[in-house]
Amino acid sequence: MSSDWQSHKEYSTPLAVRSIRWIALHLGRPVARCMLYPITLYYLIFATAQRQASWLYLNRVLARQPTWLDVAKHIHCFASTILDRVYLITGQFEKLQIIFPTENMPLKFSRKGLGCILLGSHVGSFEVLRSYAVKKCPMPIKILMHEGQTPMVMHALHALNPTIADTIMPMNNGANSLLKVKEAVDNGYAVGMLGDRISGDEKEKTVRCTLLGSAVQIPAAPIMIAASLKAPLIVFFGLYIGGNRYEIHFELLADQITLSRKNRQQEIQQWTQKYVDILEKNILAHPYNWFNFYDYWQDHDRK
């Protein structure tokens, strides 16, 4: 089983994506939710690598042998967040119960003329925050992301609302991406990025951290970007807590990160570990919200 997330193929087909989208929009959420059960079963049977990755992760986070039902619940939780992205992107917030923090931390900085870095992960739904920010706050937000793994899903969802799609800043050339992030932050935007996956690029800088008791490689870029821009760094989660309920969480990692020349690499690792500690706290509280369906800890490679 490959430990590189980019090597996993997209199991969706254009017809399947369009069908689910049509059902969600025309027949309603209850009917669309019923469709998630055969979809979950399909992935449980045929998506072997993803099923094995789920089992390895659940074995670690639950501290017991997971069952087939645990794996099915994990896949179903992920499928639920994908379905709800249809309603989030089209602004149908009345179908969902979204619990937003009393203090909108990124908006507080933006109103002072300060942009910030929102550091997320593949835990829960980033779409809850992005769509809510665009439609309900409003909060100026941009998302720096890699769209290469599930292009059909991304294209089908973004076609529903070009305004939401415009918040995406594709992650391509490193220097070009950094310039776009700086421009957005300078203009008071909250720039979201996902910090829990490495791209596999040999040139990418990573640091070694500990998550759920074992070592993992984590990108160093978010800490380096926040430090270079002298921007506040906020960890965020859009946690799916079942049914139609989501909770958005913010946690300030630093008002400003300063890295010394002498201990730069060590300090990057320490700040990154603080992010990983927050990540661990949230996945222990909501274990089925973890959506890295590949051999994240390289458990299979160690055997």
Residues forming a β-bridge with 190: 116, 141
Task: Assign 198 a pLDDT band (cuts: 50, 70, 90).
Answer: confident
Token code pair at residue 6? 């980019």
3-state helix, strand, coil in the chain (%, to 5): 50, 20, 30
pLDDT of residue 179: 87
Closest CA relative to residue 290, chosen from 64, 54, 37: 54
* pLDDT tens string 90-102: 889 999 999 988 8
Task: Assign 153 a pLDDT band (cuts: 50, 70, 90).
Answer: low
Question: Among 67-76, 167-176, 283-292, which is the least confidently predicted range?
Answer: 167-176
Closest CA relative to residue 93, chosen from 124, 137, 123, 159: 137
When pLDDT is averaged across residues 160-178 and rounded to a whole number, the result is: 72
Pairwise CA distance, residues 129 & 136, whole Å: 10
When pLDDT is averaged across residues 17-22 and rounded to a whole number, the result is: 74
Token code pair at residue 252? 């300030």
Pair 71, 44: CB distance under 8 Å = yes
Cα distances (angstroms) measured from residue 151 to each of 146, 148, 157, 243, 259: 10, 6, 10, 27, 37
Pair 45, 57: CB distance under 8 Å = no
Q: Burial-class residue 151 by CB neighbours within 10 Å (0-12, 13-18, 19+).
A: exposed
pLDDT of residue 11: 44
Contacts with 300 (C-beta within 8 Å, 6 or more apart), sequence order: 1, 3, 52, 56
pLDDT of residue 12: 46
Pairwise CA distance, residues 211 & 279, whole Å: 8
When pLDDT is averaged across residues 120-132 and rounded to a whole number, the result is: 90
Pairwise CA distance, residues 298 & 3, whole Å: 6
